Structure 1
Amino acid sequence: MGRRRDRHGLELSGLGAGPGAEEALAAYERAVDALLFFRGDVADTVTLMRQVAPGAPMGQVFAAYLGVLGTEEKQARSAREELARFRAEADHGRFTERERAHLQAASVWLAGDLRRAGELLREVSIRWPGDTLALAVGHQNDFFSGDAASLRDRVAGVLTAWDEQDPHHGPLLGMFGFGLEESGHYEQALETALAAVERNPHDVWAVHAVVHCHEMRGRFAEGIRYLDARVADWGAGNMMAVHNWWHYALYALESGDVHRALEIYDAAIHHPESAGVALELLDAAALLWRLYLDGGTASAAVGDRWEVLADAWAARADGPHYAFNDTHAVMAYLGAGRLREAEEVVAARAEWAARPHPGVTNHGMTARIGLPVCRALIAFAREQYERTVELLLPVRGRLQTFGGSHAQRDAVQRTLVEAALRARRTGLARTLLSERLGLRPTSPYNWLGQARLADQLGRAAMAVTAREKASRLAAAGARALADRPSGAGV
């Protein structure tokens, strides 16, 4: 039957016999490693496995998962068609029970049921806790669906079944660290993620968990120093490099250095050689939108970057696939002053959402969160700040249900804060800023908002104190930026 076992003792069927079977198994193991460490060769390695062993279900499943992990509509459609052909022609009785479970999970996800796919992958992890692919893909599923508890508990639930000396135990710690951070357990998250990086300096997902911890606790100088000290490990040559540079740029913005943030944008986040994939364009829009919200010289410094970014989103011609992406496309169009295109996205999604789409998770994401957020962004661009507040206030506590991280969704939360200030909704602005200061009292952004609120309330002394506080806090990050070691990259 051409079965072999992977490093965790799990059977893979359909590999054939002889050297070809060993080559297919080795390709599978390399692909799993590439996925864990976000190496760019993962797709080519999976392709090699499928060429050597076209009848192996795990090669087909792996390719299907890659088709959804990029949140790309066209990739998902192609992967859905390929997996459907394989399933129609295959003798499923020759597959293992675990492989059949993977085929079901991948098919369900490709059909649009993100949440059910996550549940099926969790069942795989319960029965076969050593299935690294199920854990890694399930972890990303939790991220895309914004399920922080599962992001944490999916990995926590298998750790006692693993040998701590297993080469994959380190990446599991990195995943667990990120789940802990998104669940608000910052101290444990940082300790866990740092342990993962200690084991594997190139574990860029664990690095990502560390920088999230610094971001959420407002420790921007620490984040800058951490990334600078390890830039050779994370700064290039992996599929997380753009996103981790985005985090660096956020640190720079909090430190008051718009020039440095845009320097990073041009060199690492969006430039003529960028791939134009949704996850990277999303980061680019989220960074520029923060400058758009700041207004004044910060917004003016963006120059023609909005126009270039809007063109990149337009070239994708995306349909309704992932509402989180839609909101960032709308940001790009609005930043470029292309209101009509932003409205066209909303109209198309509203028409789609008005029809039933049973079992399609993005339908609920779009109807309940994506459309209100997009409409609020448009209202903000039209300077209809009361309308922005009316649209965002009811959904602000449910934003996680359309995916992303706390740091990513903060672009929307900041839009609400800015709209409340500009609408002179001082009671609401006070509440929002008080919440933010309670969670991140070291954020210069939060103190600058408090200063603006004090101005509106006629409390001059409070405004001065808040601005001085913001300046002192930003100075720590500015010093860290100034002290960057030579040869530290971008």
Structure 2
Amino acid sequence: MERDRHAHVLSDTSNEAARHYERALDALLFFRGEVADEAQAMVTASPDSAMAHVFAAYLGLLGTEEKEAAAARQSFRAFRDSADLAGLSPREKMHAAAAEAWLDGDMLRAGDILGEISTGFPRDALALAVGHQIDFFTGDAQRLRDRIGGALSAWDGDDPHSGPLLGMYAFGLEEAGHYDHAEEIGLRAVERHPRDVWGIHAVVHTYEMRGLFDQGIRYLDARTGDWADGNYLSVHNAWHYALYALEAGSIERVLGVYDNTLHNEASQAIAMELLDASALLWRLLLADIDVESRWAALAQAWAGREAGAYYAFNDVHAVMAYAGAGRLSDAERLVKDREQWLARTDPAVSNHAMTREVGIPVCRALIAYRQRQYSRVVELLAPIRYRLNSFGGSHAQRDAIQRTLVEAAIRSGRHDLARTLLSERINLRPICPYNWRARARLADRLGDTAQAAAARDRAERQSAVGAAAWG
């Protein structure tokens, strides 16, 4: 009977398939492209291996792509219907149950089962990695932190997989607000494995959330060879670089990152990259920076996917692109399609609540913002601003929506709300040129020229620190 490197049983799995499993797991932990080939090679080598089919199912789900998930569902069910699962080990049975729950649309249940696996088998790196991503997709910051933290004490520091686990833990710490500790742990992870792009990503987030964008620029510049190609996270880390450049006031660099990396003629129309492109252009739209030609190409890329309801976070970014490009009929059509989907879909599907409670209100707010119906934006976003996390993403990603509310409050004359929102933001994150520029614009509307000048001066001084990172 084969076992993985941590002595977990791999039923009906040949030695060759077990080797593919280990290589696939390594590639998954480091976001390398060969993960799909290695997982398929495992299935080919041992077509009766439950863990081979479980791994393949997880891969079909992790991209948050409706069509890939549908194909994975069909393949896994064919295996399940033809296999005798009674002889599997308890861990393997739980993995099969987790995969099936997620394939059926119940992400939360899948995350719970994977948590049970991690409690009983804390050195199951696959359960930890997939569960970590589910926590990210559902915006559960505490679990994003504690799922990994709860298993770490069972790991030997010399284990090759302990490094990427530290990178995961760093990201969980950051999303839960432990920024200094997250930076420390993330740097340790990257010191062990310089190409641990999730660890790099965690460190980058800590700089973003503390407004240390000059350090973020220097860090990413120094490690360009480790993150900028050969992995699934290169576009997303480039997006973070563009956010730093935006805070530093270098629009030329922002657009350079967009054109060279985020979206161009060679880009693939996959959700995880398109949403970064949408989120960056939307921030520029909020700043009244015209990028019309880019919006048109991006909106066409979203439209060409012909994707149905699967993950509300993706829908919101598709609507950003449609609204930004002025394709408001396409944006409205997507919203109506999702409303019809809600009416015929089992509420047990995790995306049902995400779409109903957050996705549709945000989509409608984006459309209203493009129509300059700023009071309507406030009506839609203000009631859900503390629940935006429930449709997934990170604090940095969701900040595009929070900024939309700030802008709408200022532009609609809701000055008390705008003051409150900016007070929250500035006291939480005092180093953020956007916050101070927004405060200056609010002061202008209130006729307080002294406060406007002081806020603008502070924004410019902060931007200059970031700009100095380029020398």
Relative to the length of structure 1, the TM-score reads 0.95
Report the equivalent of 1:410: 399
Q: Distance in 2 between matches of 1:93 and 1:103?
A: 11
Residues 79-478 of structure 1 correspond to what in structure 2 (within 5 A)? Answer: 79-295=72-288, 298=289, 300=290, 302-478=291-467
1:7 paired with 2:5, answer yes
Query: How far does residue 451 in structure 1 lie from its aligned partner after superposition?
Result: 0.4
Q: How far apart are the structure 1 equivalents of 2:135 and 2:86?
A: 30
Equivalenced residues, count: 471
Distance 2:149 2:4 in 1: 22
From 21, 24, 30, the equivalent of 2:17 is 24
In 1, the alpha carbon distance for the partners of 2:8 and 2:54 equals 15
Find 1:72's aligned residue among 65, 76, 83. Answer: 65
Alignment partner of 1:357: what SS? coil
Q: Secondary structure at the match of 2:267?
A: coil
Per the alignment, in what secondary structure is the counterpart of residue 371 of structure 1?
helix
What is the deviation of 1:237? 0.8
How far residue 358 of structure 1 moved from its aligned partner, in angstroms, is 3.5
Q: Per-residue deviation at 1:476?
A: 1.0
Quote the Cα distance in structure 2 between the aligned partners of 1:172 and 1:436: 31
In the alignment, structure 2 segments of 5+ residues that lack a partner are none
What is the one-letter code of the residue matched to 1:4? E
Whole-Å Cα distance in 1 between the matches of residues 340 and 403 of structure 2? 28
Question: What is the identity, as a one-letter code, of the residue corresponding to 1:269?
Answer: L
In structure 2, distance between residues paired with 1:118 and 1:467? 45
RMSD over aligned CA atoms reads 0.8
CA offsets per residue over residues 149-169 of structure 1, 9 Å max, x none? 100000011111111111111
- Give how far 1:379 is off: 0.7
Structure 1 residue 312: deviation in Å?
A: 0.5
**Which deviations, in whole Å up to 9, do the C-alpha atoms of 1:412-468 show, x marking residues without a partner?**
000000000111111000000111101111100000001001111111011111101
Would you say the 8 A contact 2:107–2:349 is kept in 1? yes
Is residue 292–residue 325 contact of structure 2 (8 Å, CA) maintained in 1? no
Shift of 1:353: 1.5
TM-score when scaled to structure 2? 0.99
Deviation digits for residues 146-188 of structure 1 (CA, Å, limit 9, x no counterpart): 0001000000111111111111111111000000000001111
Distance (whole Å) between structure 2 residues aligned to residue 24 and residue 354 of structure 1: 43
Q: Which runs of 4+ in 1 moved over 6 A?
A: none
Deviations 1:345-394 (A, max 9, x none): 01111111233513200000000000100011111111100000000000
What do residues 196-249 of structure 1 show as CA deviations (whole Å, max 9, x unaligned)? Answer: 011110000000000000000010000000000001001111000000000000
Pair 1:40-2:36 in alignment: no
Q: Write the letter of the residue equivalent to 2:322.
A: Y
Percent sequence identity is 59
Q: Distance in 2 between matches of 1:275 and 1:161?
A: 39
Instruction: Describe the SS at the equivalent of 1:393.
Output: helix
Give the aligned residue type for 1:357: D
Q: Return the alpha-carbon distance in structure 1 between the equivalents of residues 228 and 253 of structure 2.
A: 16
Say whether the 8 Å CA contact 2:122–2:154 is kept in structure 1: yes
